């Protein structure tokens, strides 16, 4: 892509140095096949399938290819005489990996070409070695011309599918381009300090002593953003539950529920759709509450249990569908957090495979699910109680329009979303954060009170 001066500009990379391995490229190709064929995601990506020294490169390759996929595929189309057959998606993945290394990573060109082409032997496709080698060497020779040619297409230059660019442009006519560009840059690593073990200023000192640099988050009172990401086990006190990884925008749920929960020790609270448990834990770290947490995915619910155990926290966990009530004991809640299933359009920079896997029809289906969740959970809230609706989406159908429709059909609901905060912008009865480089993800909140 290009900036206003016409100079080539690419998404930031972390500068991974290559170790010259075939196995890591073959493993990355296998991991990418489900994504490029639209049959799976990078969720649960296991970097232990490669040796320890290759794990950073493995993740950089997998996430980097997903982040730049529209451009890589456009270039691959120019380099190939004819497309690979469907059964050779793994060879296609190797070609995309090679292109990504040449354009985006600090990998020596000879390694990006030779090791990637050589990895074809490890996936049982030795015949592809010559094809991959020829394509990548041509890209070396004709890189500028080929990139200029494919970048005439905005979907290639901005690395987003056409339907998503159209949706962003319609929702945010003044911000859509900056929003798309922010999606193409990896998000920072942000921490949430557990108040039960001290404040964030003290923990920042512990980070400095450990040789890690960070800065206090602007909006989240428990947040610290690291200057560079690291392994969680390098964080002081991580095993003891002193700190967790959570984006700044996600930490604002606890701030918004503060006026409801702070004066009420023992308040009965529901976290619906609670997995993976970050907000559940944060509420328990800050408030003395009776927490009930529900999720329909048993495997993800087990992750919530593990997170709470590490942090030394307790909640009543239930495996159940929040569009039904068979898990509810009949006692109303003083506060409900509905972190609703959504498109994830606000966290694309952390989950770049969303750009390939999400479809326009998904938005309609998700909006219908969100409406069912709101209608089912609202009667579980006591009069005077608060429901906080949250998504990691930037699309109005899931956010401002969803809440406007709910308010219109729910006479005893009123918005109490604050207007005098320094984060986000007004969005109907809620507040919208758009992703910002080196800062928070995209998020939407609407706080509703039962009159």
Intervals of CATH 3.30.70.1170 along the chain: 190-245
CA–CA separation, 277 vs 271, rounded Å? 9
Each residue of 32-88: pLDDT tens digit?
A: 999 999 999 998 888 888 898 999 999 999 999 999 999 999 999 999 999 999 999
Q: Which CATH superfamily is domain 23-157 in?
A: NusB-like (1.10.940.10)
- Active-site residues, by number, are 392
We find that the CATH architecture of domain 248-450 is 3-Layer(aba) Sandwich (3.40)
The residues of the chain scoring below 50 in pLDDT are 1-19
Torsion angle of C-alpha atoms 15, 20, 22, 23, degrees rounded to 10:
-70
Q: Span 190-245: which CATH code? A: 3.30.70.1170
317's tokens: 């966990």
Q: What integer pLDDT is reported at residue 448 of this predicted model?
A: 98
Rg (CA), the chain: 23
Contacts within 8 Å (CB) and 24+ apart, 287-293: 287/254, 287/257, 287/258, 287/261, 287/262, 289/261, 289/264, 289/265, 290/266, 290/316, 291/315, 291/316, 292/268, 292/316, 292/318, 292/333, 293/317, 293/318
CA–CA separation, 291 vs 270, rounded Å? 6
CA–CA separation, 99 vs 329, rounded Å? 56
Tell me the H-state helices in 312-359.
354-357
Q: What integer pLDDT is reported at residue 205 of this predicted model?
A: 97
Q: What integer pLDDT is reported at residue 372 of this predicted model?
A: 98
Tell me the H-state helices in 45-108.
55-67, 69-79, 89-104
Question: CB neighbours of 117 closer than 8 A, spacing ≥ 6?
Answer: 94, 98, 128, 129, 130, 132, 133, 136
Intervals of CATH 1.10.940.10 along the chain: 23-157
What's the Cα-to-Cα distance from 34 to each of 30, 49, 98, 274, rounded to whole Å? 8, 16, 18, 27
CA–CA separation, 284 vs 268, rounded Å? 12
Intervals of CATH 3.40.50.150 along the chain: 248-450
430's tokens: 């809620």
Q: What integer pLDDT is reported at residue 6 of this predicted model?
A: 39
């Amino acid at each position: 892509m290009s900036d206003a001066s016409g100079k080539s500009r690419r998404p930031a990379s972390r500068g991974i140095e290559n170790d010259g391995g075939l196995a890591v490229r073959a493993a990355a190709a296998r991991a990418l096949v489900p994504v490029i064929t639209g049959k799976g995601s990078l969720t649960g990506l296991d970097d232990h399938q490669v040796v320890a020294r290759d794990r950073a490169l493995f993740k950089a390759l997998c996430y980097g290819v997903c982040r730049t996929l529209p451009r890589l595929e456009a270039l691959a189309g120019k380099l190939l005489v004819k497309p690979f057959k469907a059964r050779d998606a793994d060879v296609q993945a190797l070609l995309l990996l090679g292109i990504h290394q040449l354009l985006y990573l600090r990998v020596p060109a000879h390694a990006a070409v030779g090791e990637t082409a050589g990895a074809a032997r490890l996936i049982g496709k030795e015949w592809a070695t010559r094809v991959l080698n020829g394509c990548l060497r041509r890209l070396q020779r004709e890189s500028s011309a080929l990139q200029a040619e494919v970048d005439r297409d905005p979907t290639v230059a901005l690395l987003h599918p056409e339907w998503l660019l159209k949706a962003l442009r319609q929702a945010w006519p003044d911000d859509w381009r900056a929003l798309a560009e922010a999606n193409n840059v990896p998000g920072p690593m942000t921490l949430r300090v557990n108040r039960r073990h001290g404040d964030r200023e003290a923990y920042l000192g512990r980070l400095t002593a450990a040789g890690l640099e960070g800065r206090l988050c602007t909006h989240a009172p428990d947040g610290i953003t690291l200057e560079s990401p690291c392994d969680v086990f390098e964080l002081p006190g991580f095993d003891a539950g002193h700190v967790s990884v959570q984006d700044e925008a996600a930490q604002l749920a606890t701030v918004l529920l503060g006026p409801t929960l702070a004066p009420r020790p023992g308040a009965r609270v529901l976290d619906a759709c609670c997995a993976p448990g970050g907000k559940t834990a944060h509420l328990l770290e800050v408030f003395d509450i009776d927490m009930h947490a529900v999720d329909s995915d048993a495997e993800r619910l087990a992750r919530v249990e593990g997170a709470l155990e590490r942090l030394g926290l307790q909640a009543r966990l239930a495996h159940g569908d929040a569009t039904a009530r068979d898990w509810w004991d009949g006692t109303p809640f003083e506060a409900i957090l509905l972190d609703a299933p959504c498109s994830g359009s606000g966290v694309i920079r952390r989950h770049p495979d969303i750009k390939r896997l999400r479809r326009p029809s998904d938005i309609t289906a998700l909006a219908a699910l969100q409406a069912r969740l709101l209608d089912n959970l609202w009667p579980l809230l006591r009069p005077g109680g608060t429901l906080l609706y949250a998504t990691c989406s930037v699309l109005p159908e899931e956010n401002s329009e969803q809440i406007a429709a709910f308010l219109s059909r729910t006479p005893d609901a009123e918005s109490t979303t604050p207007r005098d905060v320094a984060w986000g912008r007004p969005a109907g009865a809620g507040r919208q954060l758009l992703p910002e480089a080196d800062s928070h993800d995209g998020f939407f909140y609407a706080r509703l009170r039962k009159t």
